[in-house]
Amino acid sequence: MALAPKFAGQKLAAGLSPKAVHTLELYLDYVCPFSKKMFNTVYTSVVPLVEKKYNGRVQLIFRQQVQPWHPSSTLVHEAGVAVLQTNPDKFWDFSKALFDKQTEYFDVNVVNETRNQTYKRLAKLAGGVGVDEDKVYKQLEISDKPGEDGSLNSGNATTNDLKLLIKAARLVGIHVSPTVVFNGLIENGISSSFTAEQWDEWLSKNVL
């Protein structure tokens, strides 16, 4: 699936040429333990492998997959969008930091704070990887005042972009996280338990 320029930070591409390129899309939820497991393997092992062995032949795309039965899933993915809006080159670094602190955004750890308090913590996390904390929070903050048109439920500065990401996932029928899509088709053979060695073997068979 094509990637809108505004979401370009989700893509990691090693020396890509305009010719034949394989696309590996990872649909991940920041508060899903299995997504964390897959991301960590990809981030620490697969990305260096792709850069070394498949330079110019594979592009990796982190697709944000909101899982609404985890109420905080929306909030943490909004933070990912805010980073894309303010400093897209830091998206993968922020994602690593967020997965590392994943449990801090589980139900028990957010239930007694306001939405904006959760946003402040997320903005601070973004600040820790070199993104402007104040700018991120500005994108996330929900006003307690009605909009100029009297609206009471207009969301924040990330809402419209998050809608586009959710629509994109629905378009290809993504239901669970993590889900891997290779060249436009769901790849059920890859699971969150894939080791670096299994990724290496799979890539050697599929990146031609």
Q: What digits encode the pLDDT tens for the residues 18-43? A: 555 899 999 999 999 999 999 999 99
User: In this structure, are residues 140 and 156 in contact, taking their beta carbons and an 8 Å threshold?
Assistant: yes
| pTM of the complete model | 0.90
Query: 53-81: string of b/e by CB count within 10 Å (b at 16+)?
Result: ebeebbbbbbbbbbbeebebbbbbbbbbb
Q: Phi and psi (nearest 5°) for 13? A: -125, 125
pLDDT band at 12 (very low <50, low <70, confident <90, very high): low
Q: Which of 9-18, 31-40, 62-71, 107-116 has the lowest mean pLDDT?
A: 9-18
Give percent above pLDDT 70 in the chain.
Answer: 91
**CA separation for the pair 65, 29 (Å, rounded):** 5
* Mean pLDDT score, 87-115: 98
What is the structure's pLDDT at 99? 99
Number of domains forming the structure of the chain: 1
User: In this structure, are residues 87 and 132 in contact, taking their beta carbons and an 8 Å threshold?
Assistant: yes
Residues 169-197 have pLDDT tens digits of 999 999 999 999 999 999 999 999 999 99
Residue 104 scores a pLDDT above 80: yes
**CA separation for the pair 116, 123 (Å, rounded):** 10
What is the structure's pLDDT at 55? 85
Q: Which of 5-9, 83-87, 200-204 has the lowest mean pLDDT?
A: 5-9
What is the CA 92 to chain-centroid distance, rounded? 8
Residue 74 scores a pLDDT above 90: yes
**CA separation for the pair 76, 177 (Å, rounded):** 15
* Cβ contacts of 190-196, under 8 Å, gap ≥ 24: 191/38, 192/34, 192/35, 192/37, 192/38, 193/37, 194/38, 194/41, 195/41, 196/41, 196/44, 196/45, 196/46, 196/49
* Mean pLDDT score, 141-163: 93
CATH number of domain containing 29: 3.40.30.10
- Taking alpha carbons only, the member of 51, 68, 71, 63 closest to residue 11 is 63
- Structural domain containing residue 196: 5-206
* Mean pLDDT, all residues of the chain: 92
